[in-house]
């Protein structure tokens, strides 16, 4: 095959900061067609510093004293570029550019021994049990953020239906409120459900960090079982990107991202917007999908879901300055989002599907970001992120008419259309409940690098949620006496990071101090001094202070074999309902409730990248234990409390999750990739007498695998065609406690084994601006259940167009 010559233009911009004699050196790596090269390794001054280019081709090297340096840039498929650069005090003029020409060659491919490490590898070798999910490839395809997360090792997403429906995240067996989710380090509870992993497109996301069990100090929240942090793009280069996707079930997903930075002033405008819509009218069948006739006789049918549509719109708009003398980033802006989700059924699919029950939420939040490296003194970095605003959520369920799975009014045993006794679709009565929340979140991170080997980090997060409930269907009196619940959290984290033995040993030790205040305001009637009744607010506060701590270490036995271990005493603070109860559910306050505590341990290794000729492997694994005490729950019903009007949450249980995650990545040349991961765990609870029981309703064995293959010059010269094939496997599990050896009837409770295969292709046009992709999901139309027996969609087709322009 003929060699191709590529031109790589590297625009190096050198800017001088306030310090006297060090500079921050920023470069931009582009190929011949002015497309950024992602993941190129920049070796600065004979390994003194190593950087990789991001998806905009940008790399940054900090704190270089004035002088002459060698720079070496390598990337698979391109010939390594070596250059000597002189940096003197006069080279402060910004955007000094250098131009390099290099050619690809077969020898070039063999020559590339990557001594630098990718950002992904760097994160994964810090000692934490972490997955760094890169979204670059997925962003061109018809892949939602939740789907991407679900294929990551140790992560299980359980979604109650199609796009937009309620999601529970599980990390190594721990789920629900044990897992905290962040957007750029801000708890997602501040954003609400309209700006969530259901609605944010992958193209707005730079990467996703999944910390299992042990969470670093900069993600400060009471995360008992781990944290998922969505890192949004921080690009400051000029770019424009738009995409639209359309597919089965009338699903449309479109988004737009734009950035513009004025070179001279540094003034930056950034905007992102998304719109998602789906009818989610996929076909379902099963034991509860029936139509009921006269006398109550049932006929099974295959039905289309008819009350499951989802719509979300939202965006972020920011203006400010980037890469200027006084700030790396200073941006102010707002985030707005709105969603609408119809609800087809409750936790289970029953014979009484819902019609016209829906949820709406919206949020309008103002935000400020300030980031500065080497603030005041060299090595002192500040990161500040604040958010303030309001979010609302409402539930609408006012239709009393019963509907059947065929989407039409149901008939009763007499053959007449009928209304439910409870006057609504979900048992419990009609509702127009509104929950209004005022949220504030302030996150501050300060780090001080003492030298190459020692770093101290301080992080603080303040989070406040004021909650107010009302229901338009309730009387003024009932709404008047509806209590309000406020939650304030202050979490401080101190981290010390070190490295030794030529960077072979890395450690970080952290302590976290949690301060939570919950306040309940319940209006009540009291007699005033004149003897007349007045309504006063009874305000009660409860404070909880706790400490947690942990560490993560890694030791590179050889450059390609790293041992990783981490541990944390993690806690989850009782939430406002657990502390103060909930009037509607007759749950009363328990001010002595303690947090849930979990001792989390990880031990793993990372092997690779190991190469034999053109084959490259990486193998990594992690073994984990999570030991949870003082789980919070409601007590069991007994004859002593069955008629009690009031119950309290108590600390009553324990749980243990132990298991293993493993993954394998394989590449051949640069165009064939294979990955496989497996996650297996046991989630048990121990009785007072010491017997372990498996906790039911847990998908304990999952496997995912993907293949991708890229071809050049298909149809048109200089085009790329990428082919994808993925399989997802979830073993069967029961939502009933495991039974005796010879019992019968277990099948009723089983969620069957699931095995799904997807196919996809994306075609990059020669101009590199247009990418077209086609995905076929669940190609063999197999039944899929994320949650209990709630069925997900069968075979589906999606088509997507992406258009992007960079560096205009």
- Which residues between 341 and 400 bind another protein (CB under 8 A)? 348-352
How many residues form the binding site for another protein (CB under 8 A)? 88
* Closest to 182 in 3D by CA, of 227, 213, 216, 234: 227
Q: Are 594 and 574 in contact (CB under 8 A)?
A: yes
Tell me how far, at minimum, the Cβ of 335 lies from another protein, in Å.
37
Residues 700-729 within binding reach of another protein (CB under 8 A)? 701, 703, 705, 707, 709, 727, 729
245 DSSP assignment: E
Q: What's the 3-state SS for 668-718?
A: ECCCEEEEEEEEEEEEEEECCCCCEEECCCCCCEEEEEEEEEEEECCCCCC
Q: Which is nearer to another protein, 232 or 540 (CB)?
A: 540
User: Token pair 């990789």 is at which residue?
Assistant: 52
Task: Report the C-alpha gap between 343 and 162 in whole angstroms.
Answer: 10
Q: Environment class of residue 124 by beta-carbon count within 10 Å: exposed (0-12), middle (13-18) or buried (19+)?
A: buried
Tell me how far, at minimum, the Cβ of 124 lies from another protein, in Å.
23
Residues 140-159 within binding reach of another protein (CB under 8 A)? none
Task: Give the residue, chosen from 84, 527, 740, 780, that forms a contact with another protein under the rule CB under 8 A.
Answer: 740
Residue 643 engages another protein in binding (rule: CB under 8 A): yes
Residue 599 engages another protein in binding (rule: CB under 8 A): no
Task: Give the residue, chosen from 665, 789, 797, 805, that forms a contact with another protein under the rule CB under 8 A.
Answer: 789
Residues 471-490 within binding reach of another protein (CB under 8 A)? 474-478, 480-481
CA angle, residues 658, 700, 681, in degrees to nearest 5: 15
Task: Report the C-alpha gap between 42 and 74 in whole angstroms.
Answer: 7
Tell me how far, at minimum, the Cβ of 726 lies from another protein, in Å.
10
Q: What's the 3-state SS for 402-426?
A: CECCCCCECECCCCCECECCCCCCC
Tell me how far, at minimum, the Cβ of 728 lies from another protein, in Å.
10
Task: Give the residue, chosen from 438, 499, 582, 685, that forms a contact with another protein under the rule CB under 8 A.
Answer: 685
Q: In this chain, which stretch among 6-14, 184-192, 548-556, 740-748 interacts with another protein, using CB under 8 A?
A: 740-748
* Closest to 463 in 3D by CA, of 425, 431, 494, 437: 437
Tell me how far, at minimum, the Cβ of 561 lies from another protein, in Å.
23
Q: What's the 3-state SS for 184-216?
A: CCEEHHHCCCCCCCCCCCHHHEEEEEEEECCCC
Tokens of 701: 């064995």
Task: Report the C-alpha gap between 235 and 60 in whole angstroms.
Answer: 13
Annotate 316-325 with b (16+ C-beta within 10 A) or e (fewer): bbbebbbbbe
Q: Which is nearer to another protein, 184 or 682 (CB)?
A: 682
Task: Give the residue, chosen from 70, 82, 586, 781, that forms a contact with another protein under the rule CB under 8 A.
Answer: 586
User: Token pair 């607010």 is at which residue?
Assistant: 537
Task: Give the residue, chosen from 693, 713, 714, 799, that forms a contact with another protein under the rule CB under 8 A.
Answer: 693
Annotate 494-506 with b (16+ C-beta within 10 A) or e (fewer): bbbbebeeeeebb
Q: Which is nearer to another protein, 428 or 559 (CB)?
A: 428
Task: Give the residue, chosen from 166, 583, 599, 609, that forms a contact with another protein under the rule CB under 8 A.
Answer: 583
What is the x/- site pattern for another protein, positions 526-555, by CB under 8 A? Answer: -------x----------------------
Residues 744-783 within binding reach of another protein (CB under 8 A)? 744-746, 748-749, 753, 755
Tell me how far, at minimum, the Cβ of 483 lies from another protein, in Å.
9
Residue 106 engages another protein in binding (rule: CB under 8 A): no
Residue 695 engages another protein in binding (rule: CB under 8 A): yes
Q: Which is nearer to another protein, 92 or 586 (CB)?
A: 586
Task: Report the C-alpha gap between 55 and 45 in whole angstroms.
Answer: 23
Which residues is 102 bridged to in the sheet?
6
Residue 166 engages another protein in binding (rule: CB under 8 A): no
Phi/psi for 288 (5° steps) reads -105, 0
Task: Report the C-alpha gap between 130 and 730 in whole angstroms.
Answer: 22
Q: Which is nearer to another protein, 1 or 636 (CB)?
A: 636
Q: Which is nearer to another protein, 377 or 745 (CB)?
A: 745
Task: Give the residue, chosen from 273, 402, 507, 556, that forms a contact with another protein under the rule CB under 8 A.
Answer: 402
Residues 260-319 within binding reach of another protein (CB under 8 A)? 287-288, 290, 292, 295-298
Q: Centre a 10 Å sphere on the Cβ of residue 294 and count the other Cβ atoms it contains.
A: 11
Tell me how far, at minimum, the Cβ of 638 lies from another protein, in Å.
4
Residue 617 engages another protein in binding (rule: CB under 8 A): no
User: Token pair 């069991």 is at which residue?
Assistant: 636
Residue 421 engages another protein in binding (rule: CB under 8 A): yes
Residue 742 engages another protein in binding (rule: CB under 8 A): yes
């Amino acid at each position: 095959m003929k060699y191709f010559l590529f031109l790589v233009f590297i625009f190096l911009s050198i800017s001088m900061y306030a310090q006297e004699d060090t500079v921050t050196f920023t470069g931009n790596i582009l190929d011949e067609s002015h497309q950024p090269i992602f993941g190129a390794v920049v070796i600065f001054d004979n390994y003194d510093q190593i950087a990789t280019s991001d998806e905009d081709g940008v790399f940054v090297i900090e704190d270089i004293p004035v002088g002459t340096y060698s720079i070496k840039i390598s990337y698979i498929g391109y010939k390594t570029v070596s250059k000597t650069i002189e940096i003197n005090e006069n080279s402060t003029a910004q955007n000094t550019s250098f131009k390099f020409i290099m050619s690809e060659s077969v020898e070039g491919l063999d020559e590339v021994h990557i001594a630098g490490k990718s950002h992904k590898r760097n994160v994964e070798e810090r000692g934490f049990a972490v997955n760094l999910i890169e979204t670059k490839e997925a962003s061109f395809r018809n892949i939602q953020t939740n789907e991407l997360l679900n294929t990551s090792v140790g992560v299980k997403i359980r979604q109650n239906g199609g796009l937009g429906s309620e999601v529970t995240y599980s990390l190594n067996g721990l789920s629900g409120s044990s897992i905290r989710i962040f957007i750029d380090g801000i708890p997602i509870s501040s954003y609400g459900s309209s700006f969530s992993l259901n609605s944010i497109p992958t193209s707005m996301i730079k990467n996703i960090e999944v910390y299992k069990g042990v969470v670093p100090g900069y993600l400060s929240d009471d995360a008992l079982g781990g944290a998922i942090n969505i890192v949004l793009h921080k690009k400051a280069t000029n770019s424009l990107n738009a995409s639209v996707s359309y597919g089965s079930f009338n699903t449309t997903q479109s988004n737009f991202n734009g950035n513009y930075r004025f070179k001279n002033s540094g003034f930056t405008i950034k905007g992102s917007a998304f719109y998602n819509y789906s009818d989610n009218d996929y076909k379902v069948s099963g034991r509860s999908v029936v139509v009921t006739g006269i006398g109550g006789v049932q006929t099974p049918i295959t039905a289309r879901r008819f009350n499951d549509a989802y719509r979300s719109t939202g965006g972020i708009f920011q203006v400010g300055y980037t890469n200027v003398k006084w700030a790396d980033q200073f941006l102010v802006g707002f985030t707005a989002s709105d969603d609408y989700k119809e609800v087809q059924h409750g936790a289970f699919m029953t014979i009484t599907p819902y019609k016209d029950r829906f949820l709406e939420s919206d949020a309008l939040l103002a935000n400020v970001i300030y980031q500065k490296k080497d603030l005041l003194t060299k090595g002192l970095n500040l990161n500040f992120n604040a958010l303030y605003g309001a979010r609302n959520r409402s539930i609408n369920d006012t239709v009393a008419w019963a509907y059947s799975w065929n989407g039409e009014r149901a008939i009763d045993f007499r053959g007449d259309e009928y209304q439910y006794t409870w006057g609504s679709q979900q048992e419990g009565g009609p509702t127009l409940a509104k929950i209004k929340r005022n949220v504030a979140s302030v996150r501050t991170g300060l780090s001080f690098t003492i030298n190459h080997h020692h770093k101290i980090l301080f992080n603080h997060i303040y989070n406040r949620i004021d909650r107010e409930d009302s229901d338009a269907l309730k009387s003024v009196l009932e709404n008047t006496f509806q209590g309000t619940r406020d939650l304030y959290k202050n979490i401080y984290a101190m981290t010390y990071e070190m490295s030794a033995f030529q960077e072979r040993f890395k450690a970080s030790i952290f302590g976290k101090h949690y301060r939570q205040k919950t306040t309940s305001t319940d209006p009540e009637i009291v007699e005033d001094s004149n003897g007349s009744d007045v309504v006063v607010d009874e305000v009660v506060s409860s404070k909880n202070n706790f400490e947690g701590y942990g560490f993560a270490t890694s030791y590179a036995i050889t450059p390609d074999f790293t041992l990783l271990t981490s541990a944390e005493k993690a806690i989850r603070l009782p939430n406002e309902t657990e502390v103060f109860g909930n009037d509607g559910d007759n749950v009363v306050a328990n001010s002595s409730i303690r947090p849930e505590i979990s001792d989390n341990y990880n031990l793993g290794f990372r092997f690779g990248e190991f190469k034999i000729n053109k084959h490259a492997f990486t193998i990594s694994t992690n073994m984990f234990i999570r030991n949870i005490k003082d789980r919070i729950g409601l007590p069991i019903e007994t004859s002593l409390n069955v008629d009690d009007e009031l119950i309290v949450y108590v600390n009553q249980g324990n749980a243990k999750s132990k298991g293993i995650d493993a993954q394998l990545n394989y590449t051949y040349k640069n165009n064939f990739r294979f990955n496989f991961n497996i996650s297996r765990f046991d989630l048990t609870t121990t009785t007072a007498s010491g017997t372990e029981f498996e906790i039911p309703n847990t998908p304990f064995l999952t496997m995912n695998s993907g293949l991708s293959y890229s071809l050049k010059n298909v149809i048109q010269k200089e085009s790329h065609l990428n082919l994808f094939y993925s399989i997802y496997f979830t073993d069967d599990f029961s939502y009933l406690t495991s039974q005796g050896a010879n019992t019968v009837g277990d099948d009723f409770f089983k969620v069957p084994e699931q095995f799904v295969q997807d196919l996809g292709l994306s075609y990059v046009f020669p101009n590199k601006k247009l990418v077209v992709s086609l995905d076929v999901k669940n190609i063999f139309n197999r039944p899929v259940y994320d949650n209990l027996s709630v069925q997900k969609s069968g075979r589906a087709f999606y088509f997507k167009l992406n258009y992007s322009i960079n560096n205009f």
